[in-house]
Amino acid sequence: MTNQLPDLRDSEQRLKNRVQDILAEAGRQGASAAEVSVSEDVGLSVTVRMRDLESVEFNHDRGFGITVYFGQRKGSASTSDSSVEAIRETVRAAANIARHTQEDPCAGLADPDRMAHDLPDLDLYHPWDIDPEAAQTLALECEAAGLGFDQRVRNSDGASVSSQRSCRVYGNSHGFVGGYVGSRHSISCVLIAADDAGMQRDYWYTTDRNPDALEAARAVGLEAGRRAVAKLSPRKVKTGAFPVAFSAQTAGGLAGHLLGAISGGALYRRASFLPDSLGAQVAAEHLTFSEAPHLPGALGSAAFDGEGVATAAKAFIDRGSVASYILSSYSGRKLGLATTGNAGGVFNLTVSGRTLPVDELLKELGSGLLVTDLMGQGVNPVTGDYSRGATGFWVDRGEIAYPVDEITIAANLKDMFRGLVCLGDDLDMRGNIRAPTVLIDRMTLAGD
């Protein structure tokens, strides 16, 4: 079988033309304004398990999201059918919704002077010409390396190789139509180790827009095996208050709670533990959260947000203070503020601050917990109360001593961010929120 993935660079102009046709149709049906989002995704994913092929999946999906405005009444509808009749009916459905919707004074397109005009090439598209046979070979190599890491690695939940391509186009009746193509590839492995005390499961993965930047398949498998073995024979810890470090793989989620608290939707709904916090000190004075939307080749790069507004580098948290909320046009209007160009979220958000090599961070921790996995949803976004199940490693006098599990860690997010001691030098670049290991001065641990 040969690679069947189409080159989506051929789709971008065709989809831009389709968006313009849809906007024209919305005008013909009486809409005072309209906006259209189109996505097309194609991909290949191959999974093996215990040295056998488990699945080969091809995907090819396309969707149109259409929003029309009649004054300040809004209606939305979607379709995967790009035929003229289907588009006409979808616009009609959105218009019917709008006509029966109550007026919202904050509804409407982003202001026309905020539209992106300079659309730089951000180097987001690096197609991987890999066929299913080659993907299977890589997945088998990855899994075999992990299974061979140690005789205690007894089983596998699978190794996968994935290659995805996407095309995104957005347009509105201000005359803005923008689009870009992108790619994302990954190799992952999940392994199970066992000893007399029981079984432990862990994983590793690599992902990038450019296949040449992926970690070697063998290295991914070996790291998955190492991590599974390291968790064997976990112990309990005593209940008490101790320093806690969140590994780079868990710190991004922790950062996400702070970002959520300064996001427009949570703020205007009064569902945030940081209301009215613009300009306020909410975290340790060394801590900064900043976004860089135009980094070439980065996973979170974009020249415009979900409303066509130009993106720009900025800090949301600057030396511990809230420098900017995270706003779309709608949430900005609800709060009496301008959009920050973040409809749809942040772009390449990096957590920075006082940084130490991870070994030195553990020495600063002294005796406490290094969290590597979190469970449960015990986070209250209104009060900031934080309580989750955790596993990881006990650190004794600055050195990793033994694995631990069945722990609950608890604190309040306000206290956690104010008590953030330092960061590690191990920034995890595999997502849109890029965070290193984070050391919190004190949390309550519930164990034995």
CATH number at residue 174: 3.30.2290.10
Contacts of 384 (CB under 8 A, 6+ apart): 261, 273, 274, 412, 413, 414
In-domain check, residue 4: no
Question: Which pLDDT score is estimated for 225?
Answer: 98
In-domain check, residue 152: yes
Question: Which pLDDT score is estimated for 447?
Answer: 81
In-domain check, residue 184: yes
- The count of domains in the chain is 2
Question: Which pLDDT score is estimated for 1?
Answer: 40
Q: For residues 155-182, give the mean pLDDT.
A: 97
Question: pLDDT tens for residues 387-444?
Answer: 999 999 999 999 999 999 999 999 999 999 999 999 999 999 999 999 999 999 999 9
238 and 210 part of one domain:
no
Q: Is 123 helix (H, G, I), strand (E, B) or coil?
A: coil
307 and 330 part of one domain:
yes
In-domain check, residue 1: no
In-domain check, residue 359: yes
321 has a pLDDT exceeding 80: yes
The beta strand positions in 209-319, using DSSP E, are: 240-246, 288-291, 314-318
In-domain check, residue 260: yes
Question: Which pLDDT score is estimated for 2?
Answer: 47
Question: Which pLDDT score is estimated for 5?
Answer: 86
Closest CA to 409 of 292, 241, 229: 241
| Distance from C-alpha of 332 to C-alpha of 33, rounded to nearest angstrom | 19
Sign of CA dihedral 6, 11, 208, 80: negative
| Distance from C-alpha of 179 to C-alpha of 308, rounded to nearest angstrom | 10
For residue 79, what are its two tokens? 């379709």
Q: For residues 261-285, give the mean pLDDT.
A: 98
268 has a pLDDT exceeding 60: yes
For residue 257, what are its two tokens? 């709670």
278 has a pLDDT exceeding 50: yes
In-domain check, residue 118: yes
4 has a pLDDT exceeding 80: no
| Distance from C-alpha of 192 to C-alpha of 422, rounded to nearest angstrom | 33
318 and 179 part of one domain:
no
240 has a pLDDT exceeding 70: yes
67 has a pLDDT exceeding 80: yes
Contacts of 245 (CB under 8 A, 6+ apart): 361, 362, 365, 368, 369, 370, 371, 395, 424, 437, 438, 439, 440
Q: What value does the mean pLDDT of the chain take?
A: 96
260 and 191 part of one domain:
no
Question: pLDDT tens for residues 280-308?
Answer: 999 999 999 999 999 999 999 999 999 99
In-domain check, residue 26: yes
Question: pLDDT tens for residues 335-394?
Answer: 999 999 999 999 999 999 999 999 999 999 999 999 999 998 899 999 999 999 999 999
187 and 251 part of one domain:
no
Identify residue 51 by its one-letter amino acid code.
R
| Distance from C-alpha of 83 to C-alpha of 123, rounded to nearest angstrom | 32
User: pLDDT class for 3, splitting at 50, 70, 90?
Assistant: low
Q: Which of 229, 254, 281 finishes a domain?
A: 229
Do the bridges between strand 433-434 and strand 349-352 make them parallel or antiparallel, or are there none, so unpaired? parallel
336 and 198 part of one domain:
no
Q: Which of 193, 212, 229 finishes a domain?
A: 229
32 and 68 part of one domain:
yes
339 and 425 part of one domain:
yes
238 and 222 part of one domain:
no
Q: Which of 229, 259, 288 finishes a domain?
A: 229
Q: How far is CA 258 from CA 142, 182, 254, 311, 375, in A?
A: 36, 28, 7, 21, 18
Instruction: Give the residue numbers spanning the domain of 300.
Output: 234-448
164 and 241 part of one domain:
no
187 and 118 part of one domain:
yes
| Distance from C-alpha of 145 to C-alpha of 139, rounded to nearest angstrom | 10
DSSP 344: T
Above pLDDT 90, what percent of the chain? 96
When mean pLDDT is compared across 8-12, 52-56, 98-102, 364-368, the lowest value belongs to 8-12
Q: For residues 12-36, give the mean pLDDT.
A: 97
246 and 221 part of one domain:
no
